[in-house]
Structure 1
Amino acid sequence: MNFDHAANFIWQHGRLLERRILEYFFFNGSKDYILKALKAYQNDDGGFGNAIEPDLRAPNSQPLFMEFGLRVLYDCRIKDKEISNKACDFIANHADLNMGIPAIFPSSINYPKAEHWNLPFSTKPSFSRLTGLVGLLKWQGIEHSWLEEAAEICLKDIFSKTYDDAHTILTAFCLIESMPQSDYIKGLFHKLSKELYTAKFFRLDVETQGYGLTPLEFASTSSSYCRSIFSDEIISKHLDVLESQQDDDGGWLIDWKPPGDTAKFEWRAYKTLKSIMTLKSYGKI
């Protein structure tokens, strides 16, 4: 793996957000610059917009964008009350605690998007998506009356339902991590861990081809909350594969079709950044 080539790919193709994160983790940059870059995507209603998730090119706020923005803070281990309180207000105004929240609102129909966001499920309320958002907000440590009620309802959902999609399990773990680690919460952790191994889109086998989430999505750092789910051997094999996937241009490829070349290179820069952050955490850089 060539770090200099990876960094150059991000300098060349990454947005200001990715470049600021690169600076922070590898060149003694400031987290304040990450926050300034992130706030540029936050609209007056508290939600994130402006194609922060590159597969939807909409300027208005979307739950999909909210998840991406809050995940940036989570991955960078940054807590910011101003951003997260505004974000919580937005989610509280749009979520239904009986039905959940959709990935994208019908207003997104007017903007370019990846083909998978044209499917009917995209605009239907999803409780598991709400669970992920609530978890990311809880991790921020903010106090909000709606959030406390929402967290309890989401925990009951995890307890009572089988989570069978790796994406929803990934975000559900954020809620579990954000709670005091009681026996009840530890039980939910083990429940999700067990469900992950048979979930759709989970790629445990390093030989599996195509789109999916590998153990490194759940244990992206050596100190990740979910690290204990996987053996050292599994993590080591996936790290070897991750290293080998660097392309000749220095970046990592994506395995889905985005809505244009701009989105493709934004995603590749983001994936390259996440890859080298993981490799650094495990001592590969």
Structure 2
Amino acid sequence: MAETASPSPSPPARAERFVWLTARVLEQRLFAYHFLGGGDTPVERALAAYRNDDGGYGHALEPELRGPASQPLHTAHALGVLDRIGRCDSRHIEHVCRYLTRISTRDGALPALHPSARGYPVAPWLPVAGDPPSSARAADTPVAPGYAPGEHHFAYDYATAPGALARGWFTDAELARSLDHLASLQRDDGGWPADAYVRAPGTAAESRPVVTLRALLTLRAHGWALD
């Protein structure tokens, strides 16, 4: 009698294997929180490893930006994690706000990159300036070579959930096409590809689980079955 072929693992099962195989502790605990009924305290403990005494976050929490120094990009990432697990009432939030206040530019906004990144490996599209502009003046600075050409964003990058402010920017058909595209990007190893501008193997390896979690959460938020 011929053997019956085993069914291929489902996309969520392949993604779970990818996370356990490749992800940092933080992304593993986030996966457990969002998809396996894990608690929020293990996530917060993993995130604390990236927190500095100045109240900001560093240590390559955003994989493209290396080094231990606190940075607005890392700190925004940390706030996003705390928001997703419902811990923005954490005692650390006051320290985060003080850090962000200290590094604000003269016009009261935040720079994309603080000068403390100087001396550490930084992606070439994140130039380190001694007097960085805020995001409000970002258009006054030249785009780093190779950053904008070929970069693409899709409806799901903005409308991450049905209740997102940006949901109204897109028709149902436009959003559906973008979600189909997002689902199609899952690779054979179960993970989603990192952004095109990840410049080193290490940052790519750390970025892919972050991107994979984001893809899974976006698809689930829009009603895709992931069980």
- 2:4 is aligned to none
Gaps in structure 2 of 5+ consecutive residues: 1-9, 140-147
Q: How does 1:76-87 map to 2 (within 5 A)?
A: 76-87=85-96
Alignment of 1:237 with 2:177, yes or no, is: yes
Query: 1:11 pairs with 17, 20, 32, which one?
Result: 20
- 2:118 is aligned to 109
How far apart in 1 are the matches of 2:70 and 2:128? 19
The number of residue pairs the alignment matches comes to 209
Distance 1:78 1:224, change over 3 A: farther
Give the 3-state SS of the residue equivalent to 1:81 in structure 2: coil
How far apart in 1 are the matches of 2:186 and 2:129? 33
Distance 1:269 1:122, change over 3 A: farther
How far apart in 2 are the matches of 1:129 and 1:13? 38
Kindly provide the amino acid, as one letter, of the partner of residue 182 in structure 2.
L
- 1:252 is aligned to 192
Kindly provide the amino acid, as one letter, of the partner of residue 188 in structure 2.
D
**How far did 1:103 drift?**
1.9
Give the 3-state SS of the residue equivalent to 1:273 in structure 2: helix
Residue by residue, what CA displacement relative to the aligned partner does 1:18-54 show, whole Å, maximum 9, x if unpaired?
1111111110011122111112211111000111010
Alignment of 1:88 with 2:97, yes or no, is: yes
TM-score, normalization: structure 2? 0.82
How far apart in 2 are the matches of 1:66 and 1:222? 26
Give the 3-state SS of the residue equivalent to 2:101 in structure 1: helix
Question: Does the 8 A contact of 1:104 with 1:122 survive in 2?
Answer: no
- 2:166 is aligned to 226
Give the 3-state SS of the residue equivalent to 1:226 in structure 2: helix
Kindly provide the amino acid, as one letter, of the partner of residue 95 in structure 2.
K
How far apart in 2 are the matches of 1:129 and 1:74? 27
Distance 1:127 1:246, change over 3 A: closer
How far apart in 2 are the matches of 1:259 and 1:110? 17
Q: CA RMSD in A?
A: 2.6
Distance 1:102 1:84, change over 3 A: same
Bigger proportion of residues as helix: 1
TM-score, normalization: structure 1? 0.66
Alignment of 1:60 with 2:69, yes or no, is: yes
- 1:268 is aligned to 208
Comparing 252-261 and 272-281, the one that deviates more:
252-261
Kindly provide the amino acid, as one letter, of the partner of residue 213 in structure 1.
H
Q: How does 1:109-258 map to 2 (within 5 A)?
A: 109-117=118-126, 119=127, 124-128=132-136, 210-258=150-198
User: Quick check: which has more Rg, 1 or 2?
Assistant: 2
Kindly provide the amino acid, as one letter, of the partner of residue 186 in structure 2.
Q
**How far did 1:129 drift?**
8.9
Kindly provide the amino acid, as one letter, of the partner of residue 29 in structure 1.
G
Alignment of 1:281 with 2:221, yes or no, is: yes
Kindly provide the amino acid, as one letter, of the partner of residue 241 in structure 1.
H
Question: Does the 8 A contact of 1:63 with 1:103 survive in 2?
Answer: yes
Alignment of 1:36 with 2:45, yes or no, is: yes
**How far did 1:251 drift?**
0.9
Kindly provide the amino acid, as one letter, of the partner of residue 228 in structure 1.
G
Kindly provide the amino acid, as one letter, of the partner of residue 178 in structure 2.
H
Query: 2:81 pairs with 72, 79, 94, which one?
Result: 72
